[in-house]
């Protein structure tokens, strides 16, 4: 029952021209006589002909798609990044394929392989593997890639990242300024650079305030999600000297934590101030709106895509040698109720 696919030859025959002319109507309309063009377009319409991308890319060597590999599709932060990237890519006539590594280097490697098979035009990636080894095949194939939310090492390619050290310092600095002297840092998987940098930033702020490093107590979690936040709350409340403030490595953790605190009857912010990270939409929708470190997520996606497109076109005209660039954006603290002491 499936219709037989109609190809460019069928169109050519029906319009009484050669395949070359049909192809030209699509790719350089100005070189085809107007009336021929119209006749062909009419036939295309009538037969419902659609170009086969696979045939085009076979000829051109690479597809019109860029891939985006994110750590967690369930985190709205990455959804925002994806949106930014998608907009930029579509403006350039490219499609975006978004895939989720769930922070697993193995998944990451698998997807990279898939992308190479697809001969994607380029790859945007928030790396799950800190070594960057999973990206080696891309380099080998000469496929441009840009790291997102991660500063690339020298010669590893372009990157767009946010200064996580500064972000950590902002969060901790804010809590210190509110008078807190025992602060918990709810972190995540230690192999993620972001986690480490945010801690570093927090410690810097503490040192700058002339306080000892012990001011910060780290509470690691296995997963950067809401459930992880709930778990962390239990451990937080079980600490011998209970902190009066907590800085969470992302908003999902903060939300889970905040809920568990509420359930345990611990008042936010009076008994426990909370600061999150990412400033996702949901963060401002909690009953006690969450103070959070905002990352310019959509911008990051957009910039990364633009950098990638630049690199792609530099590859084309081999004359201009491409210089890897590293864009570092600055985070911003958004203060809301969850970290403001009641006026006393």
Partner DNA sequence: CGACGGTATTGAATCGTTTCATCTGACTCG
Partner DNA sequence: CGAGTCAGATGAAACGATTCAATACCGTCG
Q: Cβ 53 to DNA, closest distance in Å? A: 8
Contact residues: DNA, CB under 7 A: 5, 7-9, 16-21, 23-24, 26-27, 30-34, 36, 49-52, 55-56, 58-61
DSSP 213: G
Distance, CA of 259 to chain centre? 26
Q: What separation in angstroms does the CA of 257 have from each of 39, 86, 96, 189, 312?
A: 66, 32, 34, 17, 43
Partner whose binding site includes residue 258, from its own copies, DNA, none (CB under 5 to 8 Å by kind):
its own copies
* Continuous segment of H or E residues that includes residue 292: strand 291-294
Q: Cβ 72 to its own copies, closest distance in Å? A: 10
CA angle 113, 115, 118 (to 5 degrees): 115
Instruction: Return the bridge partners of 278, or none.
Output: 294
DSSP 106: H
**Residue among 92 and 211 whose Cβ is closer to its own copies:** 92
Contact residues: its own copies, CB under 8 A: 1-3, 5, 48, 50-55, 57-58, 61, 63, 73-74, 76, 79, 82-83, 86, 95, 97-98, 100, 113-114, 116-119, 137, 140-142, 225-226, 255-256, 258-259, 262, 281-282, 284-289, 315, 318, 321
Report the alpha-carbon distance of residue 262 to residue 278 in Å, rounded. Answer: 22
Q: Cβ 17 to DNA, closest distance in Å? A: 3
**Residue among 181 and 235 whose Cβ is closer to its own copies:** 235
Partner whose binding site includes residue 23, from its own copies, DNA, none (CB under 5 to 8 Å by kind):
DNA
Instruction: Return the bridge partners of 161, or none.
Output: 328
Name the token pair of 212. 């000892």
**Residue among 25 and 215 whose Cβ is closer to DNA:** 25
Q: Cβ 87 to its own copies, closest distance in Å? A: 11
Q: What separation in angstroms does the CA of 336 have from each of 244, 253, 283, 333?
A: 17, 17, 10, 9
Partner whose binding site includes residue 259, from its own copies, DNA, none (CB under 5 to 8 Å by kind):
its own copies
Q: Cβ 47 to DNA, closest distance in Å? A: 10
């Amino acid at each position: 029952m499936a219709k037989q696919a109609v190809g460019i030859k069928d169109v050519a025959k029906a319009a009484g021209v050669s395949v070359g002319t049909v192809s030209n109507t699509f790719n350089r309309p100005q070189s085809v006589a107007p009336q021929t063009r119209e006749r062909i377009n009419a036939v295309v319409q009538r037969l419902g002909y659609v170009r086969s991308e696979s045939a085009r890319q076979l000829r051109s060597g690479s597809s019109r798609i860029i891939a985006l590999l994110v750590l967690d599709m369930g985190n709205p932060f990455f959804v925002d990044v994806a949106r930014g990237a998608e907009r930029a890519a579509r403006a350039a006539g490219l499609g975006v394929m978004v895939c989720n590594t769930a922070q697993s280097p193995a998944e990451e490697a698998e997807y990279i392989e898939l992308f190479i098979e697809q001969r994607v035009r380029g790859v945007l990636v928030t790396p799950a593997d800190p070594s960057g080894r999973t990206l080696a095949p891309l380099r080998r194939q000469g496929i441009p890639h840009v790291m997102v939310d991660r500063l690339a090492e020298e010669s590893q390619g372009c990157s767009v990242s946010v200064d996580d050290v500064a972000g950590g310092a902002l969060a901790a600095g804010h809590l210190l300024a509110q008078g807190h002297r025992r602060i918990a840092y709810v972190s995540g998987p230690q192999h993620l650079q972001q986690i480490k940098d945010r801690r570093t930033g927090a410690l810097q702020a503490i040192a700058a305030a002339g306080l000892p490093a012990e001011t910060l107590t780290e509470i690691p979690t296995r997963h950067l999600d809401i459930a992880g936040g709930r778990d962390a709350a239990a451990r937080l409340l079980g600490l011998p000297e209970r902190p009066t403030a907590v800085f969470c490595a992302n908003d999902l953790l903060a939300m889970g934590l905040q809920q568990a605190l509420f359930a345990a009857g611990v008042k936010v912010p009076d008994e426990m101030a909370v600061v999150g990270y990412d400033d996702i939409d949901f963060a401002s929708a909690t009953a006690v709106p969450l103070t959070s470190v905002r990352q310019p997520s959509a911008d990051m996606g957009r910039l990364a895509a633009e950098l990638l497109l630049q690199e792609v076109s530099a590859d084309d005209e081999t004359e201009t040698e491409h210089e890897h660039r590293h864009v570092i954006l600055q985070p911003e603290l958004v203060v809301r109720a969850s970290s403001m002491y009641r006026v006393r």
